[in-house]
Structure 1
């Protein structure tokens, strides 16, 4: 919905899953809503993880639904409390960007989606329809681990862009602008101390993935 480029080759692909983020107060409603649409709840998963994530599957159409509650917890944690009340059905471009860039083992389909997102959204501050570099930089510089994963995945994204028939210069310039904001953001002492340890200590989680593979159309 946020990226028109995703509707056209080479960024168009098949979608086997749907991701939602809801407030904790809407958890009970979600547990009733998706089964009413024909989705089957994964009872075991929802019992064990249901305070932070719900999972549903439509066996007839091969579609799965992940529902994150308040936060998107993958390799890192993106806290969306207070960021879900804006107009429109989608999270902001900034939060969509972070939801994928935070995955340490980011895959091809996520990199294709990220290309579309950056291609379709300028870097700006205080604009719900843009990628807010100040917001991204603030989160990255509060957590060295998140920042390191973002750095690695921005490099992977640049490589992916080189392989796609898109406006590469535009995407590269926006990534440059985004990362310049991260580098310019002051780093607290805790961040700088963790940076000294660097990659010698693991800084990310490896969540169990139930997503479908990349399927270009």
Structure 2
């Protein structure tokens, strides 16, 4: 089976799970790199050119999903009914923040997170069905939340930068939540209330610019691609800079980098 067919099979499986959850009244959404691929189908060729994981193999190796904590048991029943095997050890240690399931034939694993994502920084998608952000898009998180999910990474990998390049290239910017657009209002609202998140997000957007220029030099991006991504990064940075900051943000800014501003992720989820 070719890498492209493996990736398409993974996408089909993921969409089948989300649809089965919807049929049962469970709010379940894709997040992470696979969600970006699903939300930007017209740029699947760009993903291929960038070779997300290198080596010309499959671009995606596992699946990340999110549901509301109040529906985690119902979501669990969805996975087990489809033959996915729960990882009891992971669930015993991290069950308050994460469930883990293995494909029936061991082909891949699925991480199931709950609405308050606690990685390098917090991203709150709650509080629950009918009141949270998961229902704003289907079958993935909104483009703005997919962007924030990547920008919160303190030690960002190149594969995540490639995800950001594709996400930005594939979506226009808007102030509010408008269909297939990245809401800069949502991004600014989150970053203007959390100095540490803002600091890492700004650094990561700078890396997107740096790597995009390199990809252009290597022929992986066209001139139009580079100009589009660059203009969007600059617009996001401008909008965030012009958004008033909370008192908590201002207090934390005075401390700056003298105190650690991110959470060590490995000890929580790996």
Tell me if both proteins adopt one fold, taking TM over 0.5 as the criterion.
Answer: yes
Confirm whether residue 92 of structure 1 aligns to residue 131 of structure 2.
Answer: no
Match for 1:179 among 231, 234, 237?
Answer: 237
1:113 Cα shift? 0.9
SS at 1:152's partner residue? helix
1:52 Cα shift? 2.1
Match for 2:102 among 50, 54, 57?
Answer: 57
- Matched residue, 1:215: none
Q: Is the 8 A contact 1:11 1:113 kept in 2?
A: no
Please give the TM-score of this superposition, normalised by the length of structure 2. Answer: 0.73
- Matched residue, 1:4: 41
Confirm whether residue 80 of structure 1 aligns to residue 125 of structure 2.
Answer: yes
Match for 2:163 among 97, 102, 113?
Answer: 113
Please give the TM-score of this superposition, normalised by the length of structure 1. Answer: 0.89
1:37 Cα shift? 3.0
Confirm whether residue 138 of structure 1 aligns to residue 216 of structure 2.
Answer: no
Residues 135-158 of structure 1 deviation map (CA, whole Å, 9 limit, x = unaligned) = 111110101011011011111111
- Hey, which bits of structure 1, 4+ residues long, moved more than 4 A? none
Counterpart CA distance in 1 for 2:241 and 2:188 is: 8
- How many residues are paired up? 210
Unaligned runs of 5+ in 2: 1-37, 53-58, 127-131
- Matched residue, 2:263: 205
Unaligned runs of 5+ in 1: 211-217
- Matched residue, 2:207: 156
Match for 2:92 among 47, 52, 61?
Answer: 47
Higher relative contact order (CA 8 A, sep 6+): 1
Q: Is the 8 A contact 1:6 1:12 kept in 2?
A: no
1:181 Cα shift? 0.7
Greater fraction helix: 2
1:87 Cα shift? 4.4
Counterpart CA distance in 2 for 1:131 and 1:206 is: 28
Residues 85-114 of structure 1 deviation map (CA, whole Å, 9 limit, x = unaligned) = 234211100000011110111112111111
- Matched residue, 1:16: 61
